[in-house]
Structure 1
Amino acid sequence: MNPLLRLLVLATLLLGSGCASLSNAERDRAAGIAVQARSTVVDCDQPDRCALDSPLRALGGRAFAESHAGQPRHYATLLDEGEVSLVARLNLIRSATRSIDLQTYIFDKDDSARLVLDELQAAARRGVKVRVLIDQLSAISDLEILGALSGSHANFSLRVYNPTFGKARLNYFDYAASVVCCFRRFNQRMHNKLLVVDDALGVVGGRNYQDDYYDWDSEYNFRDRDVIVAGPEVREMAANFDAFWRAPRSVPAERLNDVGRTLLRQGVPAMPPADFRRPERVERVSEEANDPEFVRRTFVDTALPVASVQYVADLPRKHRRERASQPANGQHVTEPQLDALIASAQSEVLLQTPYLVLSKPAQQLFRTLRKREQAPRVVVSTNSLAATDNPIVYALSYKYKRRNLRELGFNIYEFKPFPLDAPVDYRNLLPAPLGSEVPPSQGKRSSLLGGSAAGSNARGSADNRASSGPRRGSADRNSASGRRRSTDGSEVERRVLRAETRPSFLGTKAVNKPLPVTRKGARMGLHAKSMVVDRRIGVVGTHNFDPRSENYNTEGAVIIDDPVFAEALAQSILRDIHPQNSWVVAPRAKPPVLSGLNYSVGKASEALPVLDFWPWRYATDYEFQPGPACPAPLKRQDPAFHTCYVAVGDFPEVNVGPKWLLVRMLTAFGAGLVPIL
């Protein structure tokens, strides 16, 4: 764009956005109003700040007590279930005696987010130092809430990372202006997700603070994963958080232009009262977070002593790069570590990512693995189009299925929108409170619920063979209380499926929402970011293994070198790729004639940056059909694969319509978007 024209467009957009900045004097006045209003009253004068007596918090103390110079001791617990992970967070916040650091990409104001926010403020009032750091792009956008938080208590601090135009809340003009003036900076987001309590326990994983991540949305929820780590490595998490907290791009909420105007106009507003959509559910998880026996059974008894723990995370300096083409010069931390782990694989890589779009260096890494004489098997768990919250990304994943299968050797499983064996309490998704309309028998587990025992033959004839039984290493409410879930196609599921589907709150634009599907009800989408190498090393974090994570976002992950933990994580991923939960992506059965011509034309079409319209793609999705001749799932390379699997189409369960057509158009014309996806 001509520089003069660019300047004129930017000026027009800035006028429309109303983004005139406060002067330094006005900003100082606003900050002074917030500071002056902060209460210094502390509810508790006890040395422990009246912290909840928690077996989980005690596990952190035990890890430090058992650690010696050169021999640190750690414990790790996987958090597969959404609501259980919320209970863990509440318990840890209530058990804090000194400090709480919370870092996240999204912080909403719905039931789960407001519950956590209220708990953080309560901790501050009893004397705990609370610091909350949220990325601006998906931060709390309610100026009344932000203004109230900025002046709530001397022990509570809130900062916003990389605020565009110094604002907390953006309008469409702001988005447009940011693309014109500062595209790269606007896209540099803090994607890290971290909760650190007393520098002793940390929670790392994919979950943000929004109902979708805790199985509390009645129409769309994420299948996600966190890990609780107890022990000395948590200090590295705290140090990384502190680096972000002190970064120039982390701005106190009261110093933002729109929050500052609110403070100058009306002073510190009162915190809007919590208006919980499902108060009985909030009360239930609150009680469970206070229940020491529940906490012990769910989080402590399932914790694994692990041999080696490393927290790797990017630092704010990653965002100093002006262009992705510039040398990283040590600015990237997470990506090189993960690449090295993949390169070290000898027998197997289990990779789980919601967005299967690879950068060129990542493609080369997997091609190198593929060329080995004894190439490791690569299994990928990702979203189907019907399950994903990001159809744009899926369109590019779809474009390169042939490459991923044939050239990179991937074995791909696409998560279903209505998985029959997901780690979720389906009754949580009902629009009405839990009640007598759910028969007691529906609380029983199916033969697969609860995951796979560590001794299962999951490495047999199929990647996705799982056995029943409780799992060590993974917090499972079912094993703790025996009162949850039904996935046997009975009344609970039918009741849920009567609800009308709506797109996730996360999709702020029509093109970036889940697509309409052929069934109604509460669907799920994969959001977990995990990896297992050789059943020896397990990784749980925020990195999506995509170009955006490599070039734009800051990310973090826990790497645990321990075969027992790695097996527990592997079983969790294998459960997700079981036929009840995922379709298999495989080459189509070859037609009797012209198969070679079809392959060649399809490959040439795929290579086109635009006009990739070839309709007969190399691969499609398949559904397992069990029977006497097909007693167990097969690998796609098995000669009997097409006997035991039936093709269900490229986009199973997706309604054909304008949005479906948009995905197809993005496949044809969207190759240039890959570097920012």
Structure 2
Amino acid sequence: MQTPAALRPCPVPTAPAPRLHRARQWLCLVFLSFWVTGCASLPSTVDRPVSTALANPMETRLGRLVQARADKAGTHNDSGFALVGNAELAFTSRMTLIKAAQKTLDIQYYAIFADDTTERMFDALRDAAGRGVRIRILLDDFNTSGKNAQVLKLAFEKNFELRLFNPLPGGRGSMMLRILSNLKDVARMQRRMHNKIFVADNAVAITGGRNLGETYFGQSEGTNFVDIDVLAAGRIARDLSRSFDQYWNNPLAYPVQSLMTAKEIELLKPKLAAASPEAPSGTPQPMAVAASPTLAKTLTAAPNEATALPDSTDLSLLTWTWAPSVLLVDQPSKIAADADDVAEAQETAVDGLLQLMSQAKTDLLIVSPYFVPGELMMGQFAELRRRGVRVRLLTNSLASNDAPAAHVGYARYREALLAMGIELYEMRAEQEGTVRSFRWGAGSTGGSTSGSRASLHAKVVVMDSRLLVVGSMNLDLRSKLQNSEVAIIIRNRTLSQEATRMIEPALTSGAYRVERVNGQLVWRAPQGSGLKDSTSEPDASLTLRLLLKLIGPFAPDEML
């Protein structure tokens, strides 16, 4: 049989010029990916058993504990909340819920990264499964290639079920190959399940901006994300579970077994170059975690020797606030093949947030790592400013942004936002040798090592000091039009003021204030940083600044 042209080796001259050789290699890779694309497809018949959240949380200790705390509080509100702005607490609270669960754990994420931090979490999940807890994991498919494909092996373990949402056909050997092999369907590849939900026994949940991985728990030696979650108990946890069930039982959710075998996943396991160093002796002991520190302390706390994250925390020591709340969540149909038509027919979670923001009377404090407002949102901000509403925005600087293309979209609106009177703050990137090493939370034992950098990842809105929104969405057109998102709106002054106390110090000591002076942009250095004001994107390389100028005029907002 004749070999398909796409699989034949490219002819190589005896002594090719290095650049020409590399170019030919890339062409071969592109042709191969397109040939593979023509063969790859998703299974047409899938066994997808319907399952739902635990019907009666009061059958569990967690359910009874939540009810007891509500009774003790003497409140008519049916949901309790505690903010999580500390990387250590973000990890230990999830570990505590895993260890406390008796019946079910429902876990929904955009990304779960295979590393030492998540392996500790997987070990705890295996222990829970061993004592009979049913574990359902729903994961967006985009990041399940290369090393991260090893997460999928959980699907083949007892009491685990793992489904992939909106999977991409083709191999999982590398992210680059996956993207190349799906270029024929870029629109579908762009639509992702971005929800982040973690629910134990349908009684206590965690939601917010974090995915699962070392960079979200302050353990990376490179970039660590500054983020905010919220612990939620009672009726709102059951609302989150109902949302999970909608996605879990949707036709776009494919059991891993319908896409891969355990052997195929094992073959993708990366080869270790050398044996891993031995782990330090001794087991970290559970410890109580106090209230979350401010984001400013998160950014500027002095470095200490990094130690392992504790295994759990005493959630009863947290201050729980009982308050009215509403769940904002997109329908799974937003990600469907005809999503463009669906988007016109249904309101999205971002639409709901924008409607809420339009009712602001005095002030808005917005934290959005990727901020690309678009013309409609700009009109809304103009109306808010016309009514005298103070609007403050904290977003990433070009240097701290892990997705520079998103900064391109923000930068094209920056001067217009300043002209409206919106206060802009851009988070500084930690630079070794210029500012102190990044630590995730003052006094935390879960900090990162010297020289690591910080990138903003929290998605929070505080309105009129009485309404708080914590969720997975950014204020950009990708979250509005392409991703599915989830958020909780909480009406409570105490929680709103707590969130403000966490965020406001970061505006002065952890971020540059952007102003327009004599016709040009000026970045005012953070107080006490020892840095100087700048008239260009601070801390950003020349390459990044050139990227901003080159693609800025051409890239459409909805793709950034």
Provide the aligned length of Structure 1 versus Structure 2: 498
**Which of 202, 221, 224 is residue 199 of structure 1 equivalent to?**
202
Hey, what's the Cα distance between the residues in 2 that align with 1:337 and 1:67?
A: 30
TM superposition shift of 1:538: 0.5
1:511-590 alignment, distance < 5 Å: 521-578=451-508, 580-588=509-517, 590=518
Hey, what's the Cα distance between the residues in 2 that align with 1:387 and 1:139?
A: 25
Identity %: 25
Residue 132 in structure 1 maps to residue 152 in structure 2: no
Residue 85 in structure 1 maps to residue 15 in structure 2: no
TM superposition shift of 1:144: 7.4
1:317-396 alignment, distance < 5 Å: 317-320=333-336, 322=338, 324=340, 328-330=344-346, 332-372=347-387, 375-396=388-409
| Structure 1 equivalent of residue 25 of structure 2 | none
Residues 652 and 183 (structure 1 numbering): CA distance in 2 closer, same or farther, change over 3 Å?
same
1:596-675 alignment, distance < 5 Å: 618-623=520-525, 647-656=533-542, 658-667=543-552, 669-670=553-554, 672-675=555-558
Hey, what's the Cα distance between the residues in 1 that align with 2:140 and 2:204?
A: 23
> Which digits, 9 at most, give the CA deviation of each residue in 1:351-380, with x for residues without a partner?
0010121122211211221222xx210000
1:137-536 alignment, distance < 5 Å: 137-139=142-144, 141-142=146-147, 145=150, 148-153=153-158, 155-165=159-169, 171-180=175-184, 182-256=185-259, 258-259=260-261, 262=264, 279-280=279-280, 283-284=283-284, 295-296=313-314, 299-320=315-336, 322=338, 324=340, 328-330=344-346, 332-372=347-387, 375-407=388-420, 409-418=421-430, 478=443, 497=450, 521-536=451-466
> Which digits, 9 at most, give the CA deviation of each residue in 1:630-671, with x for residues without a partner?
xxx9xxxxxxxxxxx963232112233x3432233122x33x
Q: Look up the equivalent residue of 1:661 and give its one-letter code.
A: L
> Which digits, 9 at most, give the CA deviation of each residue in 1:118-163, with x for residues without a partner?
222221111011000111001364587356423211x210011111
Q: Look up the equivalent residue of 2:559 and give its one-letter code.
A: I
SS in 2 for 1:649: coil
TM superposition shift of 1:392: 1.2
SS in 2 for 1:380: strand
Q: Look up the equivalent residue of 1:328 and give its one-letter code.
A: E
Q: CA RMSD in A?
A: 3.9
1:2-17 alignment, distance < 5 Å: 13-16=33-36
Paired residues of 2:393 and 2:425 also in contact (CA < 8 A): yes
Paired residues of 1:93 and 1:120 also in contact (CA < 8 A): yes
* TM-score scaled by length of structure 2: 0.79
Q: Look up the equivalent residue of 1:344 and give its one-letter code.
A: Q
Hey, what's the Cα distance between the residues in 1 that align with 2:203 and 2:68?
A: 10
SS in 2 for 1:570: helix
Residues 395 and 427 (structure 1 numbering): CA distance in 2 closer, same or farther, change over 3 Å?
closer
Hey, what's the Cα distance between the residues in 2 that align with 1:215 and 1:207?
A: 11
| Structure 2 equivalent of residue 122 of structure 1 | 127
TM superposition shift of 1:404: 1.2
| Structure 2 equivalent of residue 436 of structure 1 | none
Hey, what's the Cα distance between the residues in 2 that align with 1:523 and 1:621?
A: 19
| Structure 2 equivalent of residue 71 of structure 1 | 76
Residues 209 and 376 (structure 1 numbering): CA distance in 2 closer, same or farther, change over 3 Å?
same
SS in 1 for 2:110: strand
TM superposition shift of 1:427: 6.8
Hey, what's the Cα distance between the residues in 1 that align with 2:473 and 2:241?
A: 19
| Structure 1 equivalent of residue 53 of structure 2 | none
TM superposition shift of 1:533: 0.2
Paired residues of 2:333 and 2:339 also in contact (CA < 8 A): no
Q: Look up the equivalent residue of 2:425 and give its one-letter code.
A: Y
Unaligned runs of 5+ in 2: 1-28, 49-56, 290-308
TM superposition shift of 1:569: 0.8
> Which digits, 9 at most, give the CA deviation of each residue in 1:546-570, with x for residues without a partner?
1000000000011110000000011
Hey, what's the Cα distance between the residues in 1 that align with 2:153 and 2:457?
A: 32
Paired residues of 1:63 and 1:231 also in contact (CA < 8 A): no
Paired residues of 1:352 and 1:381 also in contact (CA < 8 A): yes
TM superposition shift of 1:174: 3.5
* TM-score scaled by length of structure 1: 0.66
SS in 1 for 2:235: coil
TM superposition shift of 1:10: 10
Unaligned runs of 5+ in 1: 1-8, 32-46, 429-448, 451-477, 487-492, 498-520, 591-598, 600-617, 627-632, 634-644
Q: Look up the equivalent residue of 1:163 and give its one-letter code.
A: P
Paired residues of 1:369 and 1:376 also in contact (CA < 8 A): yes
SS in 1 for 2:488: strand
TM superposition shift of 1:414: 0.8
Hey, what's the Cα distance between the residues in 2 that align with 1:196 and 1:571?
A: 27
SS in 2 for 1:118: helix
Residues 325 and 316 (structure 1 numbering): CA distance in 2 closer, same or farther, change over 3 Å?
closer
Paired residues of 1:143 and 1:262 also in contact (CA < 8 A): no
Paired residues of 2:396 and 2:426 also in contact (CA < 8 A): yes
Hey, what's the Cα distance between the residues in 1 that align with 2:119 and 2:87?
A: 16
Paired residues of 1:201 and 1:234 also in contact (CA < 8 A): yes
Residue 20 in structure 1 maps to residue 16 in structure 2: no
> Which digits, 9 at most, give the CA deviation of each residue in 1:202-226, with x for residues without a partner?
1001111111000000121000110
> Which digits, 9 at most, give the CA deviation of each residue in 1:573-592, with x for residues without a partner?
112212x211100112x2xx
Hey, what's the Cα distance between the residues in 1 that align with 2:372 and 2:221?
A: 29
Paired residues of 2:402 and 2:455 also in contact (CA < 8 A): yes
Q: Look up the equivalent residue of 2:541 and give its one-letter code.
A: N
Paired residues of 2:112 and 2:151 also in contact (CA < 8 A): no
Hey, what's the Cα distance between the residues in 2 that align with 1:426 and 1:59?
A: 37
Residues 13 and 168 (structure 1 numbering): CA distance in 2 closer, same or farther, change over 3 Å?
closer
Paired residues of 2:92 and 2:312 also in contact (CA < 8 A): no
